[in-house]
Amino acid sequence: MRRLSTRLVASHVIVALIVGVTTFLVVRWLAPALFDQSLMQGGQGGPMQRGGGLGGPGLRSQVSTAVTNSLVVGTLAGFTAAVAFGVVAAWLVSRSVTALRSATRRIAQGDYAAEVPRESLTELADLADDVRSLGASLADTEARRVRLLGEVAHEMRTPLTVIDGYVEGMIDGVLPAGEAELGQVSDEVRRLRRLSDDLSTLSRAEENRLALEPSRVDCREVLSASADRLRPQAADAGVAFTLTMPERPVPVHADADRLAQVVTNLVGNALRATPSGGSVSLTLSTEPGRARITVADTGEGLDADQLDRIFERFYRVPGRRSVGADTGSGIGLTISRRIVEAHGGTLTASSPGRGRGATFSVVLPLAGS
């Protein structure tokens, strides 16, 4: 009785039995009384009338027997029809459920493009749509996983190749094990460590497991400290760097270190994208219930189709200018957006076009708003 088809057939049989028995008992009890009443109203006497006339007990008994026999035959016919209909209905429903089950099994085995049958019943059609959506979601997740593995392998390949080349050259005696060579190896090791740390942070951020220690902080202090650390980098790049903040405190409920990480990443990217002679500005302003941090530069700029893609993992703007070794992991903006979203804010980018600079805006709710 645990199979759906068996239960459907059993339910039809039970309903047919209840209807048949109820109909039989009611008609068997009510038919003779109605027959007697009809005879009385026709002036032919009641059931107690003597003799074998039209209203006598013989005719009454014959009618009762005929009704009983008819009810038995009708009940059996209805029961048979109900069972047959139940079998057909159960087969149709179980066939649809079996098809959906087969599709889900193929999806579970990795065939995310498995065809899910179209159903006519509303409930089964909704279930089929959900299974279809599940397959598409799993396919997208798998594609992103494969792409991430490929991107990580690609990012690791360059530093590992450099390290392998230098070490092999030192072993063969082709390269001296001097300060410059070992320094190059050390730089590549740090690049690998940075990539590992960034990937770990990204993984925690995408799984909503970022370790945040929020408290009431003044945005001005975070921006001021970040700007002091970045001014030497701006000076070396020949880029004018300005910081503009309101005189009053701008309190937000945030993790000061994570917020500084976001600001440092945005300003650092702006400095790398801006050639010598350009400018980068860091601005803090307030709006009703919100604080806005804006990083604007006069550098390379972005095309309209790149404004969202730059927040994808490992995405790099085609043709971007290279600054030094440019050892960024390519996931800084992805991490920054996740951090901002974990604080209940938003991080967006805008640009009037290539060669016309870009602007990044962080919006956070004010503390107590």
Clarify whether residues 304 and 279 are in a common domain.
Answer: yes
Q: Pick the residue with more confidence: 326 or 345?
A: 345
Interior/surface letters 28-66, b for 16+ CB within 10 angstroms, e for the rest: eeebbeebbeebeeeeebebebeeeeebbeebbeeeeee
Query: What CATH number should be reported for the domain holding residue 273?
Result: 3.30.565.10
Residue 54 has pLDDT above 60, yes or no: no
Residue 16 has pLDDT above 60, yes or no: yes
Residue 48 has pLDDT above 60, yes or no: no
Does 154 map to a domain? Answer: yes
- What's the CA gap between 253 and 218, in Å, rounded? 9
Does 311 map to a domain? Answer: yes
Structure confidence at residue 328 (pLDDT): 53
Structure confidence at residue 59 (pLDDT): 67
pLDDT digits (tens, 9 = 90+) for 97-150: 788 888 888 888 888 778 877 777 677 778 888 888 888 888 877 776 777 777
- What's the CA gap between 194 and 120, in Å, rounded? 55
What are the two backbone dihedrals, phi and then psi, of residue 205, each rounded to the nearest 5 degrees?
-65, -45
What are the two backbone dihedrals, phi and then psi, of residue 25, each rounded to the nearest 5 degrees?
-65, -45
Q: What is the mean pLDDT of residues 320-337?
A: 67
Clarify whether residues 250 and 326 are in a common domain.
Answer: yes
Residue where a domain terminates, one of 79, 102, 117: 117
Q: What is the dihedral of CA 235, 241, 244, 250, to 10 degrees?
A: -70
Does 134 map to a domain? Answer: no
- What's the CA gap between 259 and 265, in Å, rounded? 10
Clarify whether residues 290 and 345 are in a common domain.
Answer: yes
Q: By the 8 A CB rule, do 295 and 281 touch?
A: yes
Does 47 map to a domain? Answer: yes
Q: Which of 295, 294, 287, 293 lies closest to 366, judged by CA?
A: 287
Domain that holds residue 328: 215-365
Highest mean pLDDT among 59-68, 74-83, 233-242, 306-315: 233-242
Does 11 map to a domain? Answer: yes
Q: Helices 4-41 and 57-108 meet at what angle, rounded to 10? A: 160
Clarify whether residues 266 and 320 are in a common domain.
Answer: yes
Q: Pick the residue with more confidence: 127 or 350?
A: 350
Residue 46 has pLDDT above 50, yes or no: no
Query: What CATH number should be reported for the domain holding residue 173?
Result: 1.10.287.130
Least confident of 35-39, 220-224, 254-258, 354-358: 35-39
Residue 24 has pLDDT above 80, yes or no: no
SS3 content of the chain, % helix, strand, coil (to 5): 60, 10, 30
Structure confidence at residue 322 (pLDDT): 55
Clarify whether residues 195 and 225 are in a common domain.
Answer: no
Grouping H, G, I as helix, E, B as strand and the rest as coil, residue 287 is strand
Q: Which of 4, 2, 12 lies closest to 101, judged by CA?
A: 4
- What's the CA gap between 332 and 262, in Å, rounded? 8
Clarify whether residues 16 and 110 are in a common domain.
Answer: yes
Structure confidence at residue 340 (pLDDT): 93
Q: What is the mean pLDDT of residues 59-81?
A: 71
What are the two backbone dihedrals, phi and then psi, of residue 357, each rounded to the nearest 5 degrees?
80, 175
Clarify whether residues 292 and 158 are in a common domain.
Answer: no
pLDDT digits (tens, 9 = 90+) for 190-243: 878 877 877 777 777 777 777 788 899 999 999 999 999 999 999 999 999 999
Task: For the full predicted model, state whether its pTM sits above 0.85.
Answer: no
Clarify whether residues 338 and 233 are in a common domain.
Answer: yes
pLDDT digits (tens, 9 = 90+) for 246-296: 999 999 999 999 999 999 999 999 998 899 999 999 999 999 999 999 999
Q: List the structure tokens of 237.
A: 């790049």
Question: How many domains are there within the chain?
Answer: 3
Does 303 map to a domain? Answer: yes
Q: What is the dihedral of CA 220, 223, 226, 228, to 10 degrees?
A: -60
Clarify whether residues 192 and 221 are in a common domain.
Answer: no
Clarify whether residues 329 and 268 are in a common domain.
Answer: yes
Residue 34 has pLDDT above 70, yes or no: no
- What's the CA gap between 35 and 63, in Å, rounded? 8
Does 299 map to a domain? Answer: yes
- What's the CA gap between 141 and 258, in Å, rounded? 27
CA distances from 35 to 75, 196, 367 (A): 21, 94, 87
Residue 77 has pLDDT above 80, yes or no: no
Clarify whether residues 232 and 348 are in a common domain.
Answer: yes
Q: By the 8 A CB rule, do 44 and 53 touch?
A: yes
Does 125 map to a domain? Answer: no
Residue 154 has pLDDT above 80, yes or no: no
What are the two backbone dihedrals, phi and then psi, of residue 242, each rounded to the nearest 5 degrees?
-125, 150
Clarify whether residues 220 and 325 are in a common domain.
Answer: yes
Structure confidence at residue 60 (pLDDT): 65
